[in-house]
Structure 1
Amino acid sequence: MSESPPSAAAPEGPGCDSGRPAPAGPLPRSVRIGYGLGSLGTGTFGTVPGLILLYYLTNVLAVPAAWAGVAVFLPKAWDVLINPLVGAAADRSRVQGGSRRPFLLAGALSLPPLFALVFVAPPVRGAGAAVYVGVLFTLAATAYAVFQVPYVTMPAEMTEDAVERGRVLGWRVGFLGVAILLSGALAPAIAHAEGDSAGGYRLMGVTVAALLAAGMLGAWYFTGRAPVVTRSEAEPTLRSQLAAARDNEPFRYLLGMWALQALAAGTMLAGAQYFATYTIGAAAAVTPLFACMIGPLVLMMPVWNRLTRARGVKYAQWCASSLFAAGASVLFLTPWTGPALGYAAVAVVGIAYAGLQLLPLTMLADTLAVDALRTGRRRAATFTGLWTAAETLAFALGAGLFALLLAITGFRSSDASRQVEQPAAALTGVTVGMSLLPALLTVTSLWLLHRYREEQPAVSGTT
């Protein structure tokens, strides 16, 4: 379906969405900020399970590492199928004059309670616990897809101005940094407050669920005044969506690069709690470790933006990727040098990670704009559905990859009532999984970045 002509005015009042196109121009500040609030939900759900779920299974529910990896991976792998389907459904709703916001509301109402239930496991251990967590986590991942896919698409439909789109993304990434830092520090602190007890994890689940609800419902409410300047065209099947991606060479390379880097980040995220417990020597050390990694996220955004404006987004992405690989490599030396170097190396990784969060999104928005100009079709939800599916799968694979490394090196699972001594090979596996493996994945992604063709109509900036 062709793009609809703009109307004279945007919808009025929060909470209402007429679905009519609106003229281009600066977006209301409340819309920018309100849209960014959604990242409190997406950032939290993207962080907490990756940081704490694998450890919860192996060290609280006594699930063997291999089973735990399957329980974490399969629900996220399900997103490879569900995310593009949600994208197509959201596209059809938009083309037919409907709104994306009902999808946001459905996800906001269903994800928080499902997330809390993941950490309210019945009194079972081992394989039974793995099945329970796997089923609930699958339902939570589905609810997340219902919210996330339309949410990621909305900036491309709010404005066609690259600079204004950059401002919207700036609020999104800013709230993302807050969400990652807050949830990543808060969740382990609550979970470990009673010595890795099941009760501590239950309280953590409820607390994080409240944070999810606040961000997701806030985004739904405050985007009621968001204008609509374009409408996306739906690709009706997964096969046609994959064909669209295959025909867009810049998107293919960009997606591959980001998938490898998300895999690296997911591996580090899954390993952080193990690294704190077994390499640094204190389970509670995960909070300062995580703060060192995520603390620079918001502070470094202006730096990466200035570098983007000065040298281009592809050059900035190259710098961020190289810095991430270097910091991760140095982290391998922690067992021999002590925690100080480990914290410093993680801080370097955090500086790079700020760029890795912002710059691929900038390149994605620019790539979608170029695709619309080249083809005359609005397929933002199709591409963002594939992007979100690949991102989610990569983070899940990161946890699965780390779990596989634990299983290969002989890691011994336990429940909250007792601790077991780990073999030397397992301790080495923890360190390698946190450092050299993510570094190797990131270096490999540089080849795909090299093949990415930078064709954006303008460099996006943020405020």
Structure 2
Amino acid sequence: MSSRPDPAVSPAAAHAVSVRQKLAYGVGAVATMLGKQAPKQFAFQVYNIELGLAPHLVGAVLFLARLWDAITDPWMGNFSDHFRSRWGRRRPFLLAGALLSGVGFALLWWFPLGWSELAYFAYFTVLAMVFYTALTLYAVPWYALGYELSRDYHQRTSVMAYAAFFGTLAQIGVAWLYWLMKQPMFDSAMEGAKWVGIGAAGVLTLSGLVTFVFVREPALPSPPPPSAGAPATRSTWHNTRQAFRNRPFLILTAIVTTILMCNSLVAGLMPYLNIYYVCGGDKTTAATFIGYNGTVTQLVGLIAVPAMNRYSARHGKIRTLRLAFLFAGMGSLSTWFLFVPAQPYLQLLCACLSGFGLTAIFMLCHAMIGDVCDLEELRHGTRREGLFGAVYGWAFKLGLALAFLTAGYLLLWTGFDATVGADQAPETLTSMRVLFAVIPVVGYAVSYWLTSRFDLTQERLQEIRAELERRENLG
């Protein structure tokens, strides 16, 4: 029987992914987004605001943990690309990573009270390193699996749209973690942090197991025979250097790293602005608005997923990405005018604009990794979704690590003093507001310019896909 595709079947239909598979893959985004977002938001709320650990020490822990995370990602990606087992090359790591990440996340917040600042710093450092190692075990293969589920330009966006939908639901939950730990059912906020952490850890593990159980890995294209004298498997370092020679990949990585760095520099300021500026030091009321803000951001993001998916199918990913930058930039700038004590609900309008833009940005950029892998296969004959996803993660996690380290010192630079509570200096609050509004806009502007250098258009990808399928048919 011929192995060539049926000419009556369209290329898109040949590479279609079932709704069941998209759903099962998308549910796994809950684990990824909880693991990525909860520590960086919850850490300042628990360790700084409640425990009193200095903000630059919290930032230093997040810096070290994400720096370690960035180091382990490329190795994990390259390893999973070449791993073979009866369960596939990605799925065994999904199982181990989901279980270990859940345990590590719960332990992050399960510490005794009454320790010294140094003891809390040491505990947080060690557990953060353990947790992020376990998250790498899950997240890198999970992303790679999504990149390789389809080879069709628009199907890739559709797969990532499902992931964006469930990832958005996870971020809604993250927005309410601080509010949950402040509820009267707990004897104290710190007791609440422990049990909320356990609940979130259970959700993280279960969502990861859904992807492990229900998603099946696609068959791999046959690799070309190795050249005489060449090793069958290149080192992680060699493959990483080769990935950075891929110009569209380099530009795409720069776009995401720039946006994440600029947003992460000031993201931690949002709880402080709500507590000490909008709500006058009332932590419980501020926790409610933090929850509202995150919920509206993510709910609007849910609307953005199908809307931007359809817009991308008609106008292409680059044009859609530029539109998303404009929405997100307007959301950041509007915080200067809409974060006001007299009308606290106005800040939700900022959340609407930012949520629409940011959800679309990350959905599209992840979909474009699969496109980059097509170009790599055309040039070198092999697909390395795991490595490319990991190197992509390595770059922006290194940026995140630097942002977290800087963020703690940025808070100190504003003059913030946790010991004075609501009596923060007016200059401190003004500095926070300026930084919160302006720094992300700089990132969006730079990223908008970078898209003009990205030449992997829909037309070019159709040419690449046709050539790859011609080679497969000849083989």
Residues 1:51 and 2:53 are matched in the alignment: no
Task: Give the CA deviation at 1:309.
Answer: 2.4
Residue 393 of structure 1 corresponds to which residue in structure 2? Answer: 398
Alignment partner of 1:205 out of 197, 222, 226: 197
Task: Give the CA deviation at 1:143.
Answer: 0.5
- TM-score, structure 2 normalization: 0.84
**Aligned partner letter, 2:416:** F
Deviations 1:397-432 (A, max 9, x none): 443333221111222235xxx946333333234323
Q: Distance in 2 between matches of 1:232 and 1:174?
A: 34
Contact 1:314–1:454 (8 Å) recurs in 2: no
Residues 1:307 and 2:297 are matched in the alignment: no
The correspondence of residues 56-455 of structure 1 with structure 2, limited to 5 A, is: 56-94=46-84, 99-123=89-113, 124-185=115-176, 187-194=177-184, 197-223=189-215, 225-230=216-221, 236-281=234-279, 282-284=285-287, 285-333=289-337, 334-335=339-340, 338-413=343-418, 419=421, 421-455=423-457
Task: Give the CA deviation at 1:164.
Answer: 3.4
* Cα 1:342–1:420 shift into 2, 3 Å: closer
SS of residue matched to 1:426: helix
Q: Distance in 2 between matches of 1:337 and 1:361?
A: 40
**Aligned partner letter, 1:206:** I
**Aligned partner letter, 1:428:** T
**Aligned partner letter, 2:62:** V
* Cα 1:412–1:375 shift into 2, 3 Å: same
Q: Distance in 1 between matches of 2:218 and 2:243?
A: 27
Contact 1:160–1:229 (8 Å) recurs in 2: no
Q: Distance in 1 between matches of 2:253 and 2:266?
A: 20
**After alignment, is 379-388 or 336-345 more displaced?**
336-345
Task: Give the CA deviation at 1:450.
Answer: 2.2
Q: 5+ residue gaps in structure 2? A: 6-12, 225-231, 280-284, 464-475
Task: Give the CA deviation at 1:382.
Answer: 1.3
Q: Distance in 1 between matches of 2:264 and 2:407?
A: 9
**Aligned partner letter, 2:321:** Q
Deviations 1:183-214 (A, max 9, x none): 323x1221222597211111111111011011
**Number of residues paired by the alignment?**
436
Q: Distance in 2 between matches of 1:356 and 1:120?
A: 35
Task: Give the CA deviation at 1:218.
Answer: 0.9
Task: Give the CA deviation at 1:117.
Answer: 0.6
**After alignment, is 343-352 or 193-202 more displaced?**
193-202
Contact 1:54–1:72 (8 Å) recurs in 2: no
Q: Distance in 2 between matches of 1:130 and 1:286?
A: 25
Q: Distance in 2 between matches of 1:111 and 1:198?
A: 21
Q: Distance in 2 between matches of 1:126 and 1:326?
A: 40
* Cα 1:301–1:29 shift into 2, 3 Å: closer
SS of residue matched to 1:37: helix
Q: Distance in 1 between matches of 2:399 and 2:193?
A: 25
* Cα 1:159–1:6 shift into 2, 3 Å: farther
